[in-house]
Chain A
C-alpha cells in the first residue's frame, strides 16, 4: 500500500482568505495526480489531473502545482468563498488504473 498524505486534515478560514493544502506521495513510478472537490452527499468532482513535473493548472480561483521529483502537490484557493467549503481529495496513480487516495483536507469557509 502506497502512502498518500494530505495536510492539514481540516482548515477553517474566513471568507476572502487565501489558503493552500498539501498532498505528498511516493515519487517512484509516479503516473498521475488527481485533485477532487467533494461535497457531502455528492460525487467527488474532478478539479485537476496532472502528470508532469512542474505542471501548474488553474480553474478560476483554484490552482495546483506538481513536483514529481520530491513527491508533492499544492492546491491553492484564492479569496475563499463559503461555497468552497468541501473536502479536497488528492489521489495518485502508479499504474493506469490504480488510485491511492489521501484522507482529504476538510475546508470550512466562514462568511
Chain B
C-alpha cells in the first residue's frame, strides 16, 4: 500500500533555530501533500497544501514566512519551521494524495517538535 515516511519523529531545538521536517512518499507519486499540526487536546488542523513544483497554499492564520514548505519532487515535501519559538511546540504530521488512488490519503507518522 501507499506509505509516507516522515522524519524526524521527534526533535528538540533551541528557541531561534530552524527545524526541517521531511515527508517522503515511498511507493507512489504524491502530487499533493498536506501539512497539519495538532496542539494538545485539539484536532489536527491543516496548515498548508503543497503541490509539486508550485508554491504552497497556506491556511488563514499560518505564517508562510515562518513555515516554509518545499515540494520540489513528486516524492518529497519538507516543512521548515524558521526561528522557532516555544509556542511552535506541537505535533506536525503530513499526508499525501496519491495520483492513482481514489480517495486515497496516506499519512506520515508525525513529528513531535519541542522548542526550548
Contact = CB atoms under 8 A, between A and B. Distances in A.
Interface of A: 4, 32, 34, 36, 41-44, 46, 49, 51, 89, 91, 97-104
A97 B32 contact: yes
Interface residues of B, number: 24
Contacts of A103: 41-43
Contacts, number: 45
B3 to A, nearest CB: 8
A32 B105 CA distance: 12
A4 B36 CA distance: 16
A49 B43 contact: no
B109 interface: yes
Contact of B105 (A4, A41, A99, A100): A99
A43 B109 contact: yes
Nearest to A1: B45
A101 B103 contact: no
